[in-house]
Amino acid sequence: MALTRLGPNNSSSISGINLTSQVTGTLPTGNGGTGATSFTAGSMKLIASHNASNESVVEITSANSFVMDSTYKRYILDVIDYSPVSNSSLRMDYGSGSGGTTRVTTSAYRWAMKSQSSNNNDWDSYSGSNTAYIGITGEQIMSDDDHQAGFRIMIDNPSSTTVKKTVFWTGGYISSSGTYAVSLSGVGWFYNDTNAVTGLHFHAQSGNIERGSFKLYGIS
């Protein structure tokens, strides 16, 4: 079946493209389908959310009804409308044990990120030697009430005891000077052991976390 792409002259056509691997659901038999579902996309299941309010540590643990176990192979955490009480970078460490409430602060994290600013500067931030945390931002985040930051953090197979856990993230924020926007992406891991990660803990470099909505999803 040929597909017609509506361009300026309504004349361009594309043929021979198999779309059955690009859709979700059942293709009608009358339109060339078999009536069988050919592809099912993964869906995001909201596990729990927490609205931070002037907290020294935000726990993505059973203390706030979060669960990270073998139910899902991939977990995504969205951090929405984030702001520290004072200009400060954002840091994270793993949680272990039942419910993830035990913080893993051994100096065995390694991380790196790439940042690009709206004033056409780019820079690298990295741990170098081992640190007791993963630096989500290398620079301080603006703390004014009318500024906000946001991040998406991903971790795969946190319940595994055979692989060292790695996290990946993207995000953006307003610089501590309040003069330019910053986008970033990063990766970090705990190389010391392969223990299960059952929670995440977030804290500012200095001061408290003023606000932010933390939403954890499992990917089926």
Q: What are the extents of the domains in the chain?
A: 1-41, 44-219
**What is the second-level CATH architecture of the domain 44-219?**
Sandwich (2.60)
Q: Quote the tokens at residue 44.
A: 């995001």
115 C-beta neighbours (distance < 10 Å), count? 21
Give the pLDDT confidence of 38-67 residue by residue, as tens digits: 334 579 999 999 999 999 999 999 999 999
pLDDT of residue 41: 53
Give the pLDDT confidence of 78-128 residue by residue, as tens digits: 999 999 999 999 999 999 999 999 999 999 999 999 999 898 787 788 888
Q: Looking at the whole model, is its pTM more than 0.95?
A: no
More confidently predicted of 128 and 71 = 71
SS3 79: strand
Contacts of 19 (CB under 8 A, 6+ apart): none
Core vs surface per residue 150-185: b (16+ CB within 10 A) or e: ebbbbbebbeeeeeebbbebebbbbbbeeeeebebe
Average of per-residue pLDDT values in the chain? 84
